[in-house]
Amino acid sequence: MKQKTIINVFECTKHRTLNAAIVVPVIDYSVRGLCVKQYHRHKMGCPNFGTKAGCPPQAPYFDNYYDMAQPIYAIWNEFDLAAHVAKLRGKYPAWTDYQLRCCLYWQPTARKQLDNQLKLFGNEHHGLIITKCPEAMGINITETMRAIGIILEWPPVNKTYQIALAGYPATLTHKENEHESETSHTDTAETGRAVESK
């Protein structure tokens, strides 16, 4: 039976809109293999693989770290990549399409926008843990978001999304994996920047 698309968008203080929805995470451990997939000037894949705590293979599996019986939230930012490319093309007409789309020029802004979304989420939801690297934990984020009507472009052409997942910790495994996952608590003393990774 096809899941009905329901998107929960929360109205927050100061008329700011939070992009968030309750989702059913699609568990697919094979997506962790994307980290070693070759890409431009990186024949061995992402250099963080095997070295960064929040990355595979050190990152815990999502369903071991989170209580899957409790609601899981997706929080996202939508970045207008097409507008960004058009703006850069006007300033640098000689640049190649690769240069115009290079994440070095748009990713910091997009990540900051996601952090703002997560701060809003943290103000409304307490006691949850957040990961900004769900794929590292074995979540197929493309299919997870498709189920709530958001289609991710691969590679992104018009829009790119920055997505975090939040939920309650699994009682037995949370303490064991606390040092391994790039997560943060929404109810700690650092609530003002609760979305920043450790």
The pLDDT value recorded for residue 187 is: 32
Residue 36: inside a domain, yes or no?
yes
pLDDT tens string 67-86? 999 999 999 999 999 999 99
Report how many domains make up the chain: 1
Residue 185: inside a domain, yes or no?
yes
Residue 2: inside a domain, yes or no?
no
pTM exceeds 0.85 = no
Of 28-42, 76-90, 93-107, 130-144, the least confident = 28-42
Helix then strand count (H, E) for the chain reads: 6, 6
Helix (H) or strand (E) holding 79: strand 72-80
Residue 152: inside a domain, yes or no?
yes
d(CA 86, CA 51) in angstroms, rounded, equals 36
The pLDDT value recorded for residue 41 is: 67
Residue 178: inside a domain, yes or no?
yes
Residue found under tokens 């003002």: 192
What contacts 196, CB < 8 A, 6 or more positions away?
A: 115, 184, 190
d(CA 65, CA 37) in angstroms, rounded, equals 25
Radius of gyration (C-alpha) of the chain in whole angstroms:
17
Confidence of residue 171 (pLDDT cuts 50, 70, 90): confident
Confidence of residue 115 (pLDDT cuts 50, 70, 90): very high
Residue 1: inside a domain, yes or no?
no
User: Which one, of 130, 186, 188, 128, lies nearest residue 163 by Cα?
Assistant: 130
Answer for the pair 137, 182: CB distance below 8 angstroms, yes or no: no
What is the bridge-based pairing of β-strands 17-23 and 72-80?
antiparallel
Confidence of residue 106 (pLDDT cuts 50, 70, 90): very high
User: For residue 25, what are the domain limits?
Assistant: 9-193
